[in-house]
Amino acid sequence: MIHERIKKRLKKSRPMTSITLRVPADVVDDLKAMAPALGFSGYQPLIRAYVSEGMRRDEKKLYFTSARRMAEALKARGIDPALVDAALVEAEQAKPVGA
């Protein structure tokens, strides 16, 4: 089962938005030099790739834990979503055993 977050990211027609990001000039120069060597058409696609890579790593830690997968499975089997969410929050806030 593909998670909804991933399904949204796979769509090619996602709307884009412009942002302003202050980055040191030497970093931008390095990105511009690295982009073609890494197969990117420019430094902005390279920055997007870096952002996406970091997001995937952090999303995995935040949203794709075994506890979260179990919570989604319980909801899919008809367990009250509010009850499952409350238990998940409680479990995530609990101190590790032996701590």
Structure tokens at 73: 């499975």
Global pTM?
0.62
How far apart CA 82 and CA 84 sit, in angstroms, is 5
Residues 15-63 pLDDT 10s: 889 999 999 999 999 999 999 999 999 999 999 999 989 988 888 877 7
Q: What is the pLDDT of residue 59?
A: 82
Structure tokens at 31: 């990105």
> Based on the number of CB atoms within 10 Å of its own CB, is 88 exposed (0-12), middle (13-18) or buried (19 or more)?
middle
Instruction: Give yes or no for a contact between 48 and 31, defined as CB atoms under 8 angstroms apart.
Output: no
Domain borders along the chain are: 24-64, 66-99
Segment holding 32, helix H or strand E: helix 25-37
